[in-house]
Structure 1
Amino acid sequence: MTGHHWGYGEEDGPSVWHKAFPVAQGDRQSPINIVPTETVYDASLSPIFLSYENCTSTSISNNGHSVVVEFDDTDNRSVIQGGPLANAYRLKQFHFHWGGKGCHGSEHTIAGKTFASELHLVHWNAVKYRTFGEAASAPDGLAVLGIFLETGDEHRGLHKITDALYMVKFKGTVVEFKGFNPKCLLPNSLSYWTYPGSLTTPPLHESVTWIVLKEPIMVAERQMGKFRLLLFSTEEEEQRKRMENNFRPPQPLKGRQVRASFK
């Protein structure tokens, strides 16, 4: 396994990432198992504020690990602020993690409970850093909003994404995807847990302030099925591997405190 090649299989999956990325055994790795009874309510945490009004998505792609929707992050039109964040962080992209057929695949767990999928909205600190790349390796560089997807009714907001997935079936495919506003993917309540953590994929930089929403959104099993039609492989590869179980299991808390914005 080289520094650039990693995946979710037995030979290149999370259990061996530490060989190429030693930080995998660091002190603020993500995801974690959030145990509500062990979290601390922090009255000083303000509500989080998302200004996604003028969001402009640009593309949807299959990067060989997940499906990614990218945004124009050249200005401060779409940001997350408040809560544990000292300033506004710009939206860069969002992506999903999910399990196999009939299996759950969220990264964070709540008292050991897993969900069908987990959505990550990735934001970067453009006040302190010049580029996303620079922010991605800085301790306060990124803020990721985590939202659980629970199996239930169809989610109307997700249709635009699931309907586009067939166009990015293969690893390395990118297509134009304009006019999608992720506001429709937010649950009614923005109550959250927060803790200092890391990227959940290599290079696993310990640069993320995690904001994990308590309330999940609903997704139909039929919609989840469309995610599983994506492939880890390129069109040229003879061996076609379905994209599923693309999640990292919870990592040790190592003394970190998980704060809650709610009682």
Structure 2
Amino acid sequence: EMKGSTWGYGEENGPSLWHKDYPVAQGSRQSPIDIVPSEASFDPRLAPIQLSYDQCTSINISNNGHSVVVEFDDSDARSVIHGGALPNPYRLRQFHFHWGEKGCHGSEHTVAGKAFVSELHLVHWNAEKYKTFGQAAQEPDGLAVLGIFLETGDDHRWLHKITDALYMVKFKGSVSDFKGFNPKCLLPSSLHFWTYPGSLTTPPLHESVIWIVLKEPIVVSEKQMGKFRMLVFNGEEEDLRSRMENNFRSPQPLKGRKVLASFK
């Protein structure tokens, strides 16, 4: 039987079974979704997305057994996102990636049924309203996640700062210092976006996320993506060594939600 800490992306503990331990998996605002541009409504009242990441302070990079995560100092309002449909600024907590196996797509959101090679999630929380990230993660307006698609082409000139650090966090549970990285360098040139009310895409699947999915992908090379696939899902002391790949959840039913677009 799958218990809280043992969910994953394998046959025996993958997304199709998460509902056994997390019934909200079949809830009314689950993520990701397939974004159908022709069915999204342009909303002229949506403010542009503004990212104030100037004083950004990354702390560490880690392998949590599901993805690679870069964490930030969120003790003050140094790095925030505002605009869009957000009621106030949300503070940057961490970012992580989802990806597929070699030659396959691994984004969580899809656009008109099309998946991308990978998806980057920048996770922010409503620190003006809630005291802790953990509390915010359970509230309907607690989190704002900025989703950025990755497609393959040339090397990305800044992603190497992350891919060069991956060897230090190959195994589950490993953490390494990772200071001074500003995720501003991972943004595409256009910040046009789609937005909708959704959830975490990993257990506990809380329906607490205002999603902001950027329309324009960033470009990375196959070689850079290959470095992500050298990570493993398991701890160093475990016998089993399974490559970290296909760590994504498929699109969930829209259930009457509206997707808004910041652009015509």
- TM-score band w.r.t. shorter chain: over 0.9
Q: Secondary structure at the match of 1:206?
A: coil
Paired position in structure 2 for 1:103: 104
Q: How much has 1:239 moved relative to structure 2?
A: 1.1
The runs of 4+ residues in structure 1 deviating greater than 6 Å are none
**Cα offsets for 1:207-244 (capped at 9, x unmatched):** 00000000000000000000000000100111100000
Determine helix, strand or coil for the equivalent of 1:133.
Answer: helix
* Alignment partners' CA distance in 2, 1:217 and 1:61: 23
Structure 1: stretches of 5+ with no match in the other structure: none
Residues 86-127 of structure 1 show CA distances to partners (whole Å, capped at 9, x for unaligned) of 100000000000000111100000000000100000000000
Structure 2 unaligned spans of 5+: none
Are residue 65 (structure 1) and residue 66 (structure 2) matched?
Answer: yes
Deviations along 1:122-179, whole A, 9 cap, x unmatched?
A: 0000000000000000000000000000001100110100000000000000010000
Per the alignment, residue 255 of structure 1 pairs with: 256
Is 1:142 aligned with 2:143? yes
CA shift for structure 1 position 66: 0.1
The equivalences for 1:17-28 within 5 A come to 17-28=18-29
**For residues 55-91 of structure 1, what are the alpha-carbon distances to aligned partners after superposition, in whole Å with 9 as ceiling and x for unaligned?**
0000000000000000000000100001100100000
Question: In structure 1, what is the equivalent of residue 35 of structure 2?
Answer: 34
What SS does structure 1 have at the residue aligned with 2:5? coil
The amino acid of 2:44's aligned partner reads A
Percent of aligned pairs with the same amino acid: 78
TM-score by length of 1: 1.00
Aligned CA-pair RMSD: 0.4
Aligned-residue offset at 1:4: 2.2
For residue 3 of structure 1, report the CA deviation from its aligned partner: 2.1
Secondary structure of the residue that 1:222 maps to in structure 2?
Answer: helix
What residue number does 2:46 align with?
45
| Structure 1 match to 2:182 | 181
Match for residue 9 of structure 1? 10
SS in 1 for 2:184: helix
Aligned to 1:228: 229
Distance in 1, matches of 2:81 and 2:186, equals 14
Residue 204 of structure 1 corresponds to which residue in structure 2?
205
Q: How many residues in Structure 1 have an aligned counterpart in Structure 2?
A: 263
SS at match of 2:136: helix
What is residue 240 of structure 2 aligned with on the other side? 239
Q: Secondary structure at the match of 2:159?
A: helix
Read off the aligned partner of 1:73 and give its amino acid letter: D
The secondary structure found in structure 2 opposite 1:4 is helix
Q: For the residues of structure 2 that align with 1:151 and 1:137, how far apart are their CA atoms?
A: 35
Q: Distance in 2 between matches of 1:152 and 1:115?
A: 12
